[in-house]
DNA sequence: CGATGCTGGATTGGATCCGATATCGGTGAT
DNA sequence: ATCACCGATATCGGATCCAATCCAGCATCG
């Protein structure tokens, strides 16, 4: 009984490409191209674009076109601030649903993060770890919101692992995961929430030290009228 | 250069009707009806429904239909928990942008709330007051998220003012607004955030004392298969 | 030489038409 | 009498066609 509609299928695939950086921020999206590639007409593609626009992944300009949304420095910071508040909340709601079996799974995922061979793989496994921690309670809106916030920053998170010193950053992340995990396994929600907030805050601080990530590189972004 | 597309026009109008309760939760939405009423074809209506679905206002079932989303007790509670975390954050970001002139506007809006003649008017003015407090910083995602959370609960907020004791509730709200306002005008962000969190939390507690609001009244809601 | 106005092509937005699917009522068998 | 099966109809999802809009390049003029 799943939604097999073309618009949601295309939306899911486009989302994946956007957050993986296959279609980088600022790229124009032409309806016809997408339609042809997926073997559908432009009608479901337009629904797709409306969906992605609602999530903030795509920016539509009336009668003009669609672009993969770009984040500037302040927007990215804003999203991290939101995550700092929302994810601890979700973790607090999730913890009562965790069991000793899930603890084992968490540890496995944490080690999986540590052993990631590539940066892209590291990012995916990191997200898997976080998703597992926050799984459990049927809080649809909260989880969806958190997911969307991750989506919006995923591209820039990869950029953040590019520069030198990323090895050090990886170590920090792994260590912070251990701190969160220990609090979770101790059944101590307050510590777990604090550790998670610290973890996100730490990443935000890193973002704030690397504003060069947000240099406008791609061509014509609408909304930039040079006088 | 505004988006004058039919889909966004229709989406805005449908949103207004849904949150005002003109189309109550659980009602089925037929594409043809909407299309005919707005003088458009079903294509932009379908885009509209996808948009509203992304915001959680409408629930789509593949090849079956669209319904105005209903909230159950837990979902409503969840949304209030999110607001408790997000709105203080936004207030903290907004306060540095406030000026003595905005203070005057806040006081005017607060009195406007107190003087509301009807329950519906009270709700709208209450929202205007909150929106004004949170206005200022160009934090699009955060503000949009907060707006959507208000949208999702607006209908049930009205239900909450129906039962006896709502006069007492109104007095509480007005008093809490004064507390928030005083902290804001004192330029004390921590107190302001705490007062706002308390205000939202207070409303959540009220919701939790009135689970009867969420009794499934409307007919066929999909997803409920009675074995 | 630079600025401005115009025109053709590309692209989006919308309407109509067609096929697919679910729902609902009726019919028959147990 | 109840349940299973089955067809008619309403409704949805998608494709194709047409109109409206925007953009780029070129010509024209100051």
pLDDT tens profile B78-110: 999 999 999 999 999 999 999 999 999 999 999
Task: Spell out the residues 6+ positions from residue B145 whose beta carbon is closer than 8 angstroms to its own.
Answer: A82, A145, B86
Sign of torsion over alpha carbons B134, B135, B136, B140: positive
Distance from the Cα of A126 to chain B's closest Cα (Å) equals 24
The 10s digit of each residue's pLDDT in A67-109 is 999 999 999 999 999 999 999 999 999 999 999 999 999 999 9
Query: With b meaning 16 or more CB within 10 Å and e meaning fewer, what string describes A140-154?
Result: ebbbebbebbbbbbb
Report pLDDT for A218.
42
Q: What is the pLDDT of residue A5?
A: 93
Average confidence (pLDDT) over B11-37: 97
- The correct CATH number of A6-70 out of 1.10.10.10, 3.30.70.260, 3.40.50.720, 1.10.760.10 is 1.10.10.10
* d(CA B11, C1' D25) / Å: 38
- From start to end of chain A, where are the E strands? 28-29, 58-61, 65-68
**DSSP secondary structure letters along A134-164:** H-SS--HHHHHHHHHHHHHHHHHHHHHHSST
- Residue A56 dihedral angles phi and psi, to the nearest 5°: 85, 5
Give the rounded distance of the alpha carbon of A156 from its chain centre. 9
Token output for B29: 């939405």
pLDDT band at A216 (very low <50, low <70, confident <90, very high): low
Predicted local distance difference test score (pLDDT) of residue A222: 44
Q: Is the pLDDT of residue A223 over 80?
A: no
Cα B67 to Cα B18: distance, rounded to the nearest angstrom: 11
The answer to whether B114 faces chain A, any CB pair under 8 Å, is no
Range list for CATH 1.20.120.530 in chain B: 73-213
Find the helix packing angle between A73-94 and B73-94, rounded to 10°. Answer: 140
Written out in words, the top-level CATH class of the domain with range B73-213 is mainly alpha
Q: What is the mean pLDDT of chain A?
A: 93
In this predicted structure, what is the pLDDT of residue B216?
Answer: 64
- Spatial distance from the CA of B220 to the C1' of C27 (Å): 26
**Between A117 and B225, whose confidence is greater?**
A117
Region B194-215: what's the mean pLDDT? 95
pLDDT tier, A162 (very low <50, low <70, confident <90, very high otherwise): confident
Dihedral sign, Cα of residue A79, residue B82, residue B57, residue B223: positive
The pLDDT tens digits for A25-58 are 999 999 999 999 999 999 999 999 999 999 999 9
Domain with CATH 1.10.10.10 in chain B: 6-70
Q: Which residues contact B64 (CB under 8 A, 6 or more apart)?
A: B222
Selecting from A4, A50, A140 the residue whose C-beta is nearest the C-beta of B47 gives A50
Q: Mutate which of A7, A8, A47, A149 to disrupt the B interface (most B C-beta within 10 Å)?
A: A47
pLDDT band of residue B223 (cuts 50, 70, 90) is very low
Pairing of strands B28-29, B65-68: antiparallel
Tell me how far apart the alpha carbons of residues A108 and A125 are, in angstroms, rounded to a whole number.
Answer: 11
For residue B161, what pLDDT is reported? 87
The verdict on B82 touching A (C-beta cutoff 8 Å) is: yes
Burial of A62 (0-12, 13-18, 19+ CB in 10 A): exposed
Contact: B142, A78; criterion CB under 8 Å: yes
């Amino acid at each position: 009984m799943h939604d097999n509609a073309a618009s949601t299928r295309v939306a899911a695939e486009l989302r994946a490409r956007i957050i993986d950086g296959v279609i980088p921020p600022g790229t124009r999206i032409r309806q016809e191209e997408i339609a042809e590639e997926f073997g559908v007409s432009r009608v479901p593609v337009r629904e797709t674009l409306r969906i992605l626009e609602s999530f903030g992944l795509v920016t539509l300009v009336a009668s003009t076109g669609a672009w993969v949304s770009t984040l500037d420095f302040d927007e990215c910071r804003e999203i991290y601030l939101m995550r700092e508040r929302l994810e601890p909340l979700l973790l607090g709601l999730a913890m009562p649903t965790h069991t000793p079996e899930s603890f084992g799974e968490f540890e496995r995922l944490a080690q999986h993060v540590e052993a990631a061979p590539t940066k892209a793989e590291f990012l995916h496994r990191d997200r898997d770890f976080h998703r597992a921690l926050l799984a459990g309670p049927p809080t649809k809106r909260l989880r969806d919101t958190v997911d969307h916030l991750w989506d919006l920053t995923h591209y820039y998170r990869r950029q953040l692992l590019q520069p030198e010193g990323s090895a050090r950053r990886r170590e920090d992340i792994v260590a912070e995961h251990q701190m969160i995990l220990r609090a979770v396994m101790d059944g101590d929600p307050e510590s777990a929430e604090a550790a998670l907030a610290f973890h996100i805050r730490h990443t935000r601080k890193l973002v704030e030290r690397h504003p060069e990530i947000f240099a406008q590189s791609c061509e014509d972004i609408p909304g930039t009228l040079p006088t």
